[in-house]
Amino acid sequence: AEDDDISLGLPGLSLGRRDFMKAGVAAGAMGSVAGCSALTGGGDGSAANQTTESGSSVSHTVEPGEHDEYYGFWSGGHSGELRVIGIPSMRELTRIPVFNTDCATGYGFTDDTKELLEEGGGYSWGDNHHPNLSETDGDYDGEYLYVNDKANGRIARVNLTYFETDAITDVPNMQAIHGCCVLSPDTKYVLGNGEFRAPLPNDGTDAKNPDNYTSLFVAVDPESMETQWQVKVDGNLDIVDTGKEGRWAISSAYNSEEATDIQGMTRDDRDNVKAFDIPAIEQAVENGNYEEVNGVPVVDGTQESSLNQGDRPIVKYIPTPKSPHCVEVGPNGDYAFVAGKLSPTVTMIDLDALADSSDPEDVVAGRPRVGLGPLHTTFDGNGHAYTSLFIDSQAVKWDIEAAVEADEGSEDPIIEKQDVHYNPGHIQALEAMTTDPDGEWLVSLNKLSKDRFLPVGPIMPDNDQLIHIGQGEESMELVADHPAYPEPHDCVFAHKDKIDAKKVYDKSDYEETYITEEDSGVERTGDNSVHVKMTTKRSEYGLPDFTVQEGDEVRLSTTNIEGVQDIIHGVAIPEHDINYAVAPQDTREVTFTADDPGVYWIYCTYFCSALHLEMRSRMIVEPA
Closer residue to ligand CUK (CB): 444 or 558: 444
325 is a site residue for ligand CUK (CB under 6 A): yes
Cα dist. 286→279, 306, 345 in Å?
10, 16, 39
Contact 561, 586 (CB under 8 A): no
> In the bound complex, what is the minimum distance in angstroms from residue 611's beta carbon to ligand CUA?
8
Q: Using CB distances below 5 to 8 A depending on partner kind, what does residue 612 bind out of ligand CUA, ligand CUK, none?
A: ligand CUA
- What x-and-dash track marks residues 513-542 binding ligand CUA by CB under 6 A? --------------------------x---
Contact 603, 531 (CB under 8 A): no
How many residues of this chain interact with ligand CUK, rule: CB under 6 A?
12
Cα separation of the two ends of the chain: 70
375 is a site residue for ligand CUK (CB under 6 A): yes
The C-alpha atoms of residue 581 and residue 573 are separated, in whole angstroms, by 12
The C-alpha atoms of residue 402 and residue 406 are separated, in whole angstroms, by 6
Count the neighbouring beta carbons within 10 Å of the beta carbon of residue 529.
17
The strand order across the sheet containing 491-495 reads 92-97, 81-87, 70-75, 491-495
Closer residue to ligand CUK (CB): 130 or 452: 130
How many residues of this chain interact with ligand CUA, rule: CB under 6 A?
8
Closer residue to ligand CUK (CB): 130 or 232: 130
Which residues have a Cβ under 8 Å from the Cβ of 218 and sit 6 or more positions away? 171, 174, 177, 191, 192, 194, 227, 228, 229, 230, 231
Q: Which of 83, 178, 468, 569 binds ligand CUA (CB under 6 A)?
A: 569
Residue ranges in 270-309 that form contacts with ligand CUA under rule CB under 6 A: none
Size of the chain, expressed as the number of residues it contains = 624
507 is a site residue for ligand CUA (CB under 6 A): no
Q: Which of 615, 617, 619, 621 binds ligand CUA (CB under 6 A)?
A: 615
The C-alpha atoms of residue 526 and residue 401 are separated, in whole angstroms, by 73
- What x-and-dash track marks residues 369-398 binding ligand CUA by CB under 6 A? ------------------------------
Residue 4, amino acid = D
78 is a site residue for ligand CUK (CB under 6 A): no
Contact 458, 442 (CB under 8 A): no
Q: Using CB distances below 5 to 8 A depending on partner kind, what does residue 425 bind out of ligand CUK, ligand CUA, none?
A: ligand CUK
Count the neighbouring beta carbons within 10 Å of the beta carbon of residue 198.
20
The C-alpha atoms of residue 125 and residue 128 are separated, in whole angstroms, by 10
> In the bound complex, what is the minimum distance in angstroms from residue 490's beta carbon to ligand CUK?
5
Indicate the helix (H) or strand (E) that contains 315.
Answer: strand 315-321
141-149, 455-463, 498-506, 600-608 -> range binding ligand CUA (CB under 6 A): 600-608
Q: Phi/psi of residue 312, each to 5°?
A: -130, 70
The C-alpha atoms of residue 214 and residue 318 are separated, in whole angstroms, by 19
The strand order across the sheet containing 477-484 reads 424-430, 439-446, 462-470, 477-484
> In the bound complex, what is the minimum distance in angstroms from residue 546's beta carbon to ligand CUA?
18
> In the bound complex, what is the minimum distance in angstroms from residue 603's beta carbon to ligand CUA?
8
Closer residue to ligand CUA (CB): 8 or 567: 567
Q: Using CB distances below 5 to 8 A depending on partner kind, what does residue 375 bind out of ligand CUK, ligand CUA, none?
A: ligand CUK
> In the bound complex, what is the minimum distance in angstroms from residue 608's beta carbon to ligand CUA?
3
Closer residue to ligand CUA (CB): 255 or 535: 535
Indicate the helix (H) or strand (E) that contains 146.
Answer: strand 139-149
Q: Phi/psi of residue 285, each to 5°?
A: -65, -45
> In the bound complex, what is the minimum distance in angstroms from residue 231's beta carbon to ligand CUK?
20
- What x-and-dash track marks residues 229-248 binding ligand CUK by CB under 6 A? ----------x---------
Q: Using CB distances below 5 to 8 A depending on partner kind, what does residue 489 bind out of ligand CUA, ligand CUK, none?
A: ligand CUK
Closer residue to ligand CUA (CB): 601 or 607: 607
- Provide the binding-site residues for ligand CUA, judged by CB under 6 A: 539, 569, 604, 606-608, 612, 615
